[in-house]
A and B are shown apart, each in its own frame.
Chain A
Amino acid sequence: MANIELRGITKIFDKKVRAVNDVNLTIADQEFMVLLGPSGCGKTTLMRMIAGLEYPEAGRIVIGGADVTDLPPRKRNISMVFQSYAVFPHLTVFDNIAFGLKMNKTGKAEIKRRTEEAAELVQLSPYLERYSAQLSGGQRQRVAVARAIVMEPAVLLMDEPLSNLDALLRLNFRAELKRLVAELKTTTIYVTHDQVEAMSLGDRIAVMRDGEIVQCGTPMEVYERPATEFIGGFIGSPPMNFLKVRLERVDGKLRAMLGSHGLPAPTMLADHADRDLLLGIRAENIEATPVDGVASQVDLVSKTLVVELLGAQMLVTGEIDGQGIKVLVRADAPIKPGVDLLLHPELDKLRWFDAESRNEIVVS
């Protein structure tokens, strides 16, 4: 098993496109690291460089203490699961899984034992004699996973392995994959654009954008304390609410003014007084009740535009002072379009962002 160090990795395509730009990342032994980002953010390119399928223009890749930057894929002790699965169509399931073992000249008896063991792990035992064309998408995906884990690699790389499965299968597989990787204790890097997948699988998530890692942390950290507006908007469903507020001093206290309503702001923000800020708050961290009677001038009131039932909860889209806001309420709450809602955000869940740079202003 091994840790991975990426030092200043840069990849430039066609002499001008910076697909990956000066990425530094350390992945601990046995860690499950998810590279998350929208398409074209460089996450797959970064993984392909770790695999040795692309060569970085700058930077070093160190796996288990050894610099592998100049080594071909076969000498890096890695295995990779491709998005397309890349199951060899001219070989049976058995020969697909055994392919790597045959290449590094493992003994026949051991190939048989380990291949059958890996097939058992992913429940492919009854299909060992079949060809790729005779398998379902889910089974092909299992072949790809078994073929990778049978090598007992130091690092397991997975490039969107679930993205070609239908929704239900994907859900089942996610849990299965999590169990499998936890059992194997292999250092794993997993590329996805699906934030739910990232949250549910990763020990840590590295969020990428435009070839750079913009935040790296545990799923909870990334979810609760997004480093930028982009991350808050990318992770979570619904995405984090962002409201433009103005920080003012009212009676000696800092207030984030939203129309005529002022939310108490932490004193740490004093430097930003009399400036515009971006206030971030998650939909589930706002308590909403229908306005009883006439709302006062200083209440935080949103006008309900759309109500969507999600099952256990209801997603209310409203408008405050011309700005959109989404709130999650109980499914049986008496809320209909047109109803005014009184909002009570949880004050300790408020996140503050610079209106210019869109980066979080860290308070406390």
Chain B
Amino acid sequence: MRNANPARETGDDFRSLRQARGRRHTLGRAGLYLLATVMALWVLAPIYLITITAFSPRDVVREYPKQVIPREFSVESMDFFVNSTGVLGSLWNSVLVALITLVLSTIIGAPAGYALARFAFKGRDPYRLVILSTRAFPIVILSIPLAVTFLTWGIYDSIYAVALMHTALAMPFTVLITSSIFVSVPHDLEEAALTLGCTPLQAFLRVVMPLALPGLAAASIFTFVLSWNEVFAAVILTLQERTLPAHVLGVLTSSPPHFRFAAAWFMLAPSLIFIFLIRRYLLGLWGRISR
């Protein structure tokens, strides 16, 4: 009797199985979103609190419990921070250092990345490893001899010293990332350009570069942010010509709380804006290129 209609029965089995699987699927998705939310909050909550405090009147800093929705907008703290001695100068230094680092590491690192991607030369794999191993040296160990060297070169306490140090720090990353970017540009395209009248350099500039640009932009975000946030080398290698993080670190303990919040926001904002801008550019380009 039970097996009178086996087809129907297996059909039901299938349905319940699918339902079970569907429930599991929904649960899985919910878990995923929950996790994503927690992770987003982990990052966003401090950013949010920093932002509202930085743009509230100075006495809000000491208020307890904290207001989640700001009551009053004020640029008082920001104004105080920006006009403090040394802030504007160090901000300008930070921007310069980050830009020099970006340009230098791209000029030196990208060709190395290209070579790693395209040419099978002797010792390519050891080379790859050696590049990474430079990151194994703690900055502490590197900084002291570097400070001495820079003193003898006469570039100690200048943005160039910091930029050189940051370039060295960014280099392994730039080389490996650009190499993987160049690998992702099919070699066929370059060869096609060669058969269509290009010199190797023209083929690189007209075909490889445009296609590698989104990736190079991504690499440059990281370089910029790395330099913008780096504080240790900047503190050791400068006295007067401080970058913003180095300056803020120097005056932090002797500053009022609202100064700290304003400084925190100021450190955060450029990185966020930079990433946001380039991210959109990345998606736009990649969306068009990907087949």
Q: With contacts A84-B188, A133-B290, A133-B291 known, is A74 near B207, CB below 8 A?
A: no
Residue B43 lies at the interface, judged by CB distance under 8 Å to chain A? no
Q: A51 near B: Cβ within 8 Å?
A: yes
A90 CA / B289 CA spacing, docked (Å):
6
Q: Chain B residues with Cβ under 8 A from A90's Cβ?
A: 207, 210-211, 288-289
| A131 CB–B CB distance under 8 Å | yes
Per the 8 Å Cβ criterion, residues 67-122 of B in contact with A are none
Given A82-B188, A88-B207, the answer on whether A103 and B197 have CB atoms closer than 8 Å is yes
Decide: B188 and A78 in contact? CB cutoff 8 A. Answer: no
Given known A90-B210, A90-B289, A133-B288, contact A74–B188 (CB-CB < 8 A)? no
Give the residue among A72, A78, A86, A103 with the most B Cβ atoms within 10 A. Answer: A86
Interface presence of A151 (CB below 8 A)? yes
Given contacts A51-B195, A89-B211, contact A103 B288 (CB under 8 A): no
Smallest CB–CB gap between A152 and chain B, Å? 13
Instruction: Select one of A103, A104, A133 contacting B289, CB under 8 A.
Output: A133
Q: Specify which chain B residues have a CB less than 8 angstroms from the CB of A74 in the assembled complex.
A: 194-199
Q: Which residue of B lies closest to A79 (CB)?
A: B195
- CB contacts (< 8 Å) of B189 on chain A: these are 86, 88-89
Of A78, A82, A89, A132, chain B has the most CB atoms within 10 Å of the CB of A89
Instruction: Tell me the complex Cα distance, A78–B192, Å.
Output: 11
B202 within 8 A of A: yes
Residues of A within 8 A of B196 (CB): 74, 79, 99-100, 103, 147, 151
The closest CB in chain B to the CB of A48 belongs to: B191
Task: Tell me, rounded to whole Å, the shortest Cβ–Cβ distance linking B176 to chain A.
Answer: 24
**A238 contacts across to B, CB distance below 8 A:** none
Cβ of B210: which chain A residues have Cβ within 8 Å of it? Answer: 90
Partner pick for B288 among A73, A78, A100, A131, CB 8 A cutoff:
A131
| Residue contact B193 to A99, C-beta cutoff 8 Å | yes
Q: Judge whether B188 and A86 touch: CB under 8 Å.
A: yes
Contact of A73 with B194 in the complex, beta carbons under 8 Å: yes
**Which residues of B sit under 8 angstroms from A147, Cβ to Cβ?**
192, 196
Contact with B along A53-83 (1 / 0, CB 8 A): 1000000000000000000111000111010
> A131 CA to B291 CA in the complex, in Å?
10
Residues facing A in B155-212 (CB within 8 A) are: 186, 188-189, 191-199, 202, 207, 210-211
Contact with B along A311-342 (1 / 0, CB 8 A): 00000000000000000000000000000000
The one of A72, A89, A104, A131 that contacts B194, using a Cβ cutoff of 8 Å: A72
On whether the beta carbons of A103 and B291 are closer than 8 Å, the reply is no
User: Which residue of B has the minimal Cβ distance to A153?
Assistant: B195
Which A residues lie within 8 Å of B289 (CB)?
89-90, 133
> Are A78 and B291 neighbours in the complex by a CB distance under 8 Å?
no
Contact of B197 among A80, A84, A89, A100 (CB under 8 A): A100
Residues of A in contact with B (beta carbons under 8 Å apart): 51-53, 72-74, 78-80, 82, 84, 86, 88-90, 99-100, 103-104, 131-133, 147, 151
Would you give 29 A-B contacts (Cβ < 8 Å), ordered by A?
Answer: A51-B195, A52-B195, A73-B194, A73-B195, A74-B197, A74-B198, A74-B199, A80-B191, A80-B192, A82-B192, A84-B186, A86-B188, A86-B189, A86-B191, A86-B192, A88-B192, A88-B193, A89-B288, A89-B289, A90-B207, A90-B210, A90-B288, A100-B197, A103-B197, A103-B198, A103-B202, A133-B288, A151-B196, A151-B197
